[in-house]
Structure 1
Amino acid sequence: MKNTKIQAAFLFLLRSGLWGKKQQHNEKQFFPLSDAEWSGLYRRANEQTVQGIVYDGLLCLDKDHLPPRQLQIKWSVQIDRIERSHRRTNSQIAEQYAFFKKRKLSPLLLKGQGVAESYRFPEHRVCGDIDWYFETTRQCTLAGLHLIKNRIPRIHVGGQVYRWTASEMDLHDRLFDLHNPFCKRLLNQYRKDFPDTTLSISGQDVAVLAPQVQVVQVTAHILKHSLAFGIGLRQFCDLAALYHRYRHLLDGVRLEQLYRRIGLLRWIAPVHQFLVNELGLAKDKLPFTSPAGGSGMDILQEVWQSGNFGFYDEAYVQRIDGTFLARKGRTEAILRRIVRYFPYVPKEAFWFPIIHFLNRRGA
């Protein structure tokens, strides 16, 4: 997909929202927009679930370049809902953590609200599911049994997804979304070298990964969905925010060595290039310098076409009466992505379909 005025203006606002920088010298290249263009930009912000960040970018614009009054009001109302959701989700995280700890379980909060704290305005990152990691399958299973015993409904039969009041809660016994079985030892050692920490959420000290490990976990999550059906901009913003917030703690040499040994280094190069060129992350915030030059991978086109977790890719998602209902051509979609990603992450591209097939047989 070629660059468009809407896309360029969208990225301009996203960069401004992420870093809070008024880019007045460049603003006239992208603005003003027509009412139709503003409508398209707003729709894209929602598809990518970064409407809160883009809204923060609006606040950096000159008055003459703002969207129509009606859209401003609509957007402001949506931001209020996002902020309310942020507070409600944090409160539920504190409740859930206390629930598990009371039952002698030790959950670890993954992604989501823990990552949100790295943002300039954490309350403007759109909330997703609440993800908890347990060190063993036994602990994960036991946590699910306690939830069922306390009448917390399970959403998917046979799965570990539950409905806690207004939020979905996922229980996991695997920390990193990487499928190559030979990288497990390296990842476990890396985590031991950077012990878990805590984060205060709604007055509760909640266990989270150390920043050095969290960037790896988020990176692996991006790759997992990239290999499957696609991923949107929010997760790349997460990684950029983590780099920006914790660069002083990251051991670039060690991180680069880890990515090389688990076979991700060639893919990390275009990811870093994307964070700098499109999301505006300062180069000195990258944990290590990636090779210069083009990689041949167009991440921007992929995320722009896919939307959040690939749900807006009309080539593989069925739309009925204006609503996306189900994926279509699942096998074709995954095979296409495996072929595309194989030169960059051959180990993951090889093991990804094998592990998925084995998991489906064992389900």
Structure 2
Amino acid sequence: MTRDEKIYFSLLRIGLGTESPREILPELAKLQWGEIYRLAVRQGTGALIWDALRQLHAMEYLPLSLRVQWAYNVEQIEDRYRKQEKVLAGLSKFYASHSISLMLLKGYGLSFCYPCPEHRECGDIDIWLFGRQREADELLCREWGIRIDEDKHHHTVFLIDGIMVENHYDFLNVHAHASNREIEQLLRTYAEIHGETICLKDTEIHLPSPSFNALFLLRHAAAHFAAAEIGMRHIADWGMFILRYCDKIDWTELYATARRMNMHRFLNCINAISINNIGVDAKLFPSFERDLKLEERVLNDILHPEFSEKFPEKGFIRIMRFKFRRWLANRWKHRIVYREGLIHTFFRQVYSHLLKPKSIAH
């Protein structure tokens, strides 16, 4: 790990509130700030590092042009957060008028685990409507004129004011991996457990139970890691979730499921990275087997993905060749995430794409 990367992690811990802001002051004048900025943005943590710099009163160390660029980036993150909040409030109010309850998955709901919620970068809005997904889509289409995209696995997609919403009918793509079916059933059971409720613009929105989130966040990060890559934002989500809900997580049950699905080593790694690099107290985790070599490889892949080719912009053959090369390169990840064999998985994923042909281009 380079010196700049070490400082990046110190800044990240300060931004997350797990490290004192006094410890790295002497190093700030020596940094390659352009590299720090690019790393922070690439990892989905730009606003969190900005929070650390503000706490350190370190803006004077940044070149003026970079300071302006960084401030603008943070402002965009905040604006998108507020826009998501507005869309979510309007959507939940619409559903409530039709007696449809909404549960929010990851994203905005996880932001409340952070010291500054609007600085947790959000992508799209993921929702679960307790089995009324199809009815809700028809209502949106009829009453709001919303176009519904049904070409994705396990959820439909639509846009409201430029914000993408994924309306889940399954939590996982049950066609891509056989083990996803078993996890899906567990998640549906956990989804019935009452979690916290937040009030947004006088409308109630349900958050998942800690049991649901522990398994869903783990599988979601694991699947993204095995398929392509993850960023430190995924690890920050896990670490902040643990900080807030550690006393409500059934670690025995979670590890039993993880071992049954062959993702216990990945779970060990993200726990270790949360401790070593995010600054989460090790006492909040159960004892687990450490594999320093694997932990280092997982962290290095997060920072510098071993497969770094860019996704082709167009061309069916080029896209298929790219996906096959990426699949070959990521075999080691598959072995710490899935219990299925590689050959079985390959043909099952081909079948999955045939069910939704347009998914090949993503």
User: TM range, normalised to the smaller chain?
Assistant: 0.7 to 0.9
Task: Name the structure 1 match of 2:126.
Answer: 131
Q: How does 1:76-155 map to 2 (within 5 A)?
A: 76-136=71-131, 139-154=132-147
Question: What is the alpha-carbon distance in structure 2 between the residues aligned to residue 267 and residue 20 of structure 1?
Answer: 23
Deviation of the 1:121 alpha carbon: 0.6
Question: Cα distance, 1:273 vs. partner?
Answer: 0.8
2: distance between equivalents of 1:64 and 1:92?
Answer: 33
Once the 2 structures are TM-superposed, how far is the Cα of residue 294 of structure 1 from its aligned partner? Answer: 1.9
Distance across 2 between alignment mates of 1:12 and 1:65: 18
Amino acid of the structure 1 residue aligned with 2:289: P
Q: 1:33 touches 1:67 (CA, 8 Å); kept in 2?
A: no
In the alignment, structure 1 residue 174 sits paired with structure 2 residue 170: yes
For the 8 Å contact 1:197–1:207, the answer to whether it is kept is yes
SS of residue matched to 2:242: helix
Q: CA deviation at 1:272?
A: 0.8
Query: Structure 1 stretches of 5 or more lacking a match?
Result: 321-325
Report the residue type matching 2:288 in the other structure: S
Give per-residue Cα distances to partners, 1:233-256, cap 9 Å, x unaligned: 111111111001111222222322
Distance between the aligned counterparts of 1:360 and 1:222, measured in 2?
21
Q: Does 1:329 align with 2:318?
A: no
Kindly state the Cα deviation for residue 295 of structure 1 after the two structures are TM-superposed. 4.8
| Paired position in structure 2 for 1:237 | 236
Q: Which has the higher helix share?
A: 2
TM-score (normalizing by structure 1): 0.84
Cα 1:290–1:96 shift into 2, 3 Å: same
Say whether 1:343 aligns with 2:335: yes
Q: Does 1:248 align with 2:247?
A: yes
Q: Deviations over 1:230-285 (max 9, x none)?
A: 11111111111100111122222232223233332222111111111122211122
Single out whichever of 108-117 and 212-221 deviates more from structure 2. Answer: 212-221
Letter in 2 for 1:128: G
In the alignment, structure 1 residue 40 sits paired with structure 2 residue 39: no
Q: Give distance in 2, aligned partners of 1:354 and 1:197.
A: 40
Aligned residue number for residue 68 of structure 2 = 73
How big is the shift at 1:327? 9.2
- Superposed, which structure 2 residues align to 1:248-327 within 5 Å? 248-286=247-285, 288-297=286-295, 298-306=297-305, 314-318=308-312
Q: Deviations over 1:79-132 (max 9, x none)?
A: 233222222211211111122232343332111100111101101111210111
SS at match of 1:154: coil
Aligned to 1:323: none
Q: For 2:202 and 2:163, how far apart are their aligned partners in 1?
A: 19
Aligned match of 2:360:
none
Cα pair distance change 1:331/1:201, threshold 3 Å: farther
SS of the residue 2:170 aligns to? coil
Distance 1:275 1:152, change over 3 A: farther
Match of 1:19 in 2: 17
1:42 Cα deviation after fit? 1.0
The Cα of 1:58 is off from its aligned counterpart by 0.9
Moved more, 178-187 or 16-25: 178-187
What's the CA shift string for 1:26-69, capped at 9, x where partnerless? 443x43235xx211211222222211111111123364873223
2:47 is the alignment partner of 1:52: yes
Contact 1:118 1:245 in 2 (8 A): yes
Unaligned runs of 5+ in 2: 357-362
Question: What SS class does the counterpart of residue 22 from structure 1 fall into?
Answer: coil
Partner of 1:244, secondary structure, is: helix
Larger displacement relative to structure 2 (90-99 or 327-336) = 327-336
Is 1:227–1:349's contact at 8 Å kept on the other side of the alignment? no
Residue 165 of structure 1 corresponds to which residue in structure 2? 161
Aligned AA for 2:29?
P
In structure 1, the residue matched to 2:359 is: none
Structure 1 residues 319 and 346: CA distance shift in structure 2, 3 A: closer
Per the alignment, in what secondary structure is the counterpart of residue 356 of structure 1? Answer: helix
RMSD, aligned CA:
2.8
